[in-house]
């Protein structure tokens, strides 16, 4: 499994904030894709209502996820494919490793997949002596640099063309150039050999369709089509929530995914894969394996507060409008998922307390909800995570972070609903003010002074009664 490091968020954020190249690159990305996605939504033939419909469709998918996954598994097998339901990252990784050993795999080519990043499949295969080559251009660049993606669809956005020129000169041995077409051609030539030599192709899955038993993959470079057809084995890894009921719903969501991700009506290549090559087919793999990953998603599914996050189709649109992401980039979040979606899903997958900086660091401006193609209310869930961090949760095994503060607010809530007790508490508080003001309350008094309590409530003062009378008279 990729080692998460969300606890390093404050230090990583400080480092990112002092990087002007990163901020310039992210601003360019947001200017281009953020506003472009909103324009693409406005130009939908069905209008904005399509996104509301998509939200309801995704909620229904999540509610019926067990039935849909069972149907998907039956239909994939009926096409000659294999399906493995992996409880966690270790189970998914073991399945791929055992398959590679049994089939004598020596080389793997990969299409961009955040789920494979989540389980750390590259490191596991390389440890077993199997070469792994990322074939998405951005992923290829960061693999050569020994880094992880900093954006869901633009993984190397933090690199300048000069960085890439020096990197290619050092790693694949071409003369230095910072000309983007020349660099792209060099990568293409290098990767073409890897495609032809690979025994196994590994991809993610944008969305799977239970009705037809097929997965859909979207790309703009054609590398995924080569990864799924040239090697003799194709392994696709999907999070269990990436499931649709029908082909019509799958197509509707793919249209919204492309608009949210890159302001396109549709990606350059859309592949529908339902199993291995059949007799008479000229290309395609001899074996097809679909790994459906749980990895604590069932725990999220069981919680009605956070279940909605499983509606996400991983377009990355929320990263393209988030003011926090625009300043600190993706590496700061310390896990495969960054930006607002990462600030919600990462704590739920890796630990709410451990990842507290992620959800406490967001602004709650609501831009992520506005841009989301399926209308997920991420700000609501960010607040819910903060509430759990403060108040604790038995479901998530979190103790109250500030027990005394939590107790004080509980007493306050009781008093506010009982006027006689409230008045008595105010009078008592006034008498005890000199003692209360000397209290040391961590997190409060080092920055604030406790004010003296008034003897009477404001509504009991002559000023309040005069004001009330004037208001009544004026009205």
Condensed to tens digits (0 to 9), the pLDDT of residues 125-153 reads 999 999 999 999 999 999 999 999 989 88
* Alpha carbon distance, N-terminus to C-terminus of the chain: 67
- Predicted confidence (pLDDT) at residue 47 exceeds the cutoff of 50: yes
Nearest-CA neighbor of 105 among 133, 76, 75, 85? 133
With cut-offs at 50, 70 and 90, classify the pLDDT of residue 465: low
User: At residue 464, does pLDDT exceed 80?
Assistant: no
Query: Does residue 475 carry a pLDDT above 80?
Result: no
pTM: 0.86
How many helices (DSSP H) and strands (DSSP E) are in the chain?
23, 10
Q: Are β-strands 287-293 and 131-134 bridged in parallel, bridged antiparallel, or unpaired?
A: unpaired
Which of 334, 347, 350, 341 lies closest to 385 in space, CA to CA? 347
Ranges 205-209, 333-337, 430-434, 463-467: which has the least confidence:
463-467
CB 406 within 8 A of CB 399: no
Question: What is the C-alpha separation between 146 and 133, in angstroms, rounded?
Answer: 12
Do residues 191 and 225 make contact, with C-beta atoms less than 8 angstroms apart?
no
Percentage of residues in the chain with pLDDT exceeding 90?
77
Taking the CA atoms of residue 301, residue 307, residue 313 and residue 314 in that order, the dihedral angle to the nearest 10 degrees is -90
Q: What is the pLDDT of residue 147?
A: 92
In this model, does residue 468 exceed pLDDT 60? no
Q: Which of 163, 217, 218, 168 is nearest to 188 (CA)?
A: 168
Strand-pair category, 214-219 with 269-273: antiparallel
Rounded Cα distance, 424 and 224, in Å:
71
Contacts of 76 (CB under 8 A, 6+ apart): 82, 83, 213, 274, 275, 288, 290
Confidence of residue 297 (pLDDT cuts 50, 70, 90): very high
Report which of residues 1 and 236 the model is more confident about. Answer: 236
If you ran DSSP here, which 8-state letter would residue 32 be given?
I
Alpha helices (H) along 198-321:
223-229, 247-262, 297-301
List pLDDT tens digits, range 418-434.
888 888 888 888 888 88
Place of tokens 């309801």: 56
pLDDT, residue 287, reads: 97
Alpha-carbon gap, residue 471 to 161, rounded angstroms: 66
User: For position 467, what pLDDT does the model report?
Assistant: 55
Q: Phi first, then psi: give them for residue 395, nearest 5 degrees.
A: -60, -40
Q: What is the pLDDT of residue 473?
A: 44
Confidence of residue 446 (pLDDT cuts 50, 70, 90): confident
The per-residue pLDDT for 472 is 47
3-state secondary structure of 294: coil
Q: What is each CA distance from 368 to 130, 314, 453, 471, in whole angstroms? A: 39, 13, 41, 42
CB atoms within 10 A of CB 405: 16
**pLDDT given at position 2:** 58
């Amino acid at each position: 499994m990729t080692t998460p490091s969300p606890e390093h968020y404050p230090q990583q954020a400080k480092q990112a904030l002092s990087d002007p190249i990163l901020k310039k690159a992210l601003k360019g990305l947001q200017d281009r894709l953020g506003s472009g996605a909103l324009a693409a939504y406005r130009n939908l033939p069905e209008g904005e209502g399509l996104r509301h419909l998509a939200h309801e469709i995704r909620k229904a998918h999540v509610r019926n996820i067990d039935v849909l996954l069972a149907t998907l598994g039956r239909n994939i097998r009926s096409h000659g494919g294999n399906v493995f339901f992996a409880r966690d990252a270790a189970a998914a990784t073991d399945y791929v490793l055992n398959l590679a050993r049994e089939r004598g795999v020596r080389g793997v080519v990969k299409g961009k997949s955040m789920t494979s990043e989540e389980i750390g499949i590259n490191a596991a295969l390389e440890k077993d002596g199997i070469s792994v080559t990322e074939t998405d251009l951005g992923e290829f660049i960061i693999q050569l640099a020994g880094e992880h993606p900093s954006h869901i669809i633009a993984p190397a956005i933090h690199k300048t063309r000069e960085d890439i020129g020096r990197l290619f000169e050092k790693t694949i041995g071409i003369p230095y150039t910072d000309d983007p077409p020349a660099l792209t051609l060099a990568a293409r030539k290098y990767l073409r050999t890897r495609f032809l030599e690979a025994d196994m192709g590994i991809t993610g899955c944008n969305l799977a369709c239970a009705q037809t038993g097929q997965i859909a993959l979207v790309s703009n470079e054609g590398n995924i089509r080569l990864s799924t057809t040239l090697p003799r084995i194709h392994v696709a890894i999907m999070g269990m929530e990436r499931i649709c009921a029908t082909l019509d719903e799958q197509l509707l969501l793919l249209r919204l995914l492309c608009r949210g991700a890159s302001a396109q009506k549709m990606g350059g290549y859309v592949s529908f894969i339902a199993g291995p090559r059949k007799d008479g087919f000229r290309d395609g793999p001899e074996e097809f394996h679909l790994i459906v990953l749980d990895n604590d998603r069932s725990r999220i599914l069981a919680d009605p507060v956070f279940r909605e996050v499983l509606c996400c189709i991983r377009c990355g649109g929320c990263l393209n409008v988030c003011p926090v992401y625009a300043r600190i980039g993706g590496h700061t979040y310390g896990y495969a998922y960054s930006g607002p979606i990462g600030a919600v899903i990462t704590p739920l997958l890796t630990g709410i307390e451990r990842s507290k900086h992620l959800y406490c660091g967001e602004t709650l401006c609501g831009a992520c909800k506005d841009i989301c193609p399926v209308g997920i209310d991420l700000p609501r869930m960010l607040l819910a995570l903060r509430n759990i961090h403060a108040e604790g949760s038995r479901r998530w095994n979190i103790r109250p972070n500030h027990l005394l503060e939590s107790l004080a607010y509980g007493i306050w809530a009781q008093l506010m609903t009982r006027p006689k007790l409230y008045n008595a508490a105010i009078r008592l508080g006034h008498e005890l003010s000199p003692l209360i003001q000397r209290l040391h309350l961590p997190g409060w008094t080092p920055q604030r002074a406790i004010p003296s309590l008034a003897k009477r409530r404001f509504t009991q003062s002559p000023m309040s009664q005069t004001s009330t009378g004037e208001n009544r008279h004026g009205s």
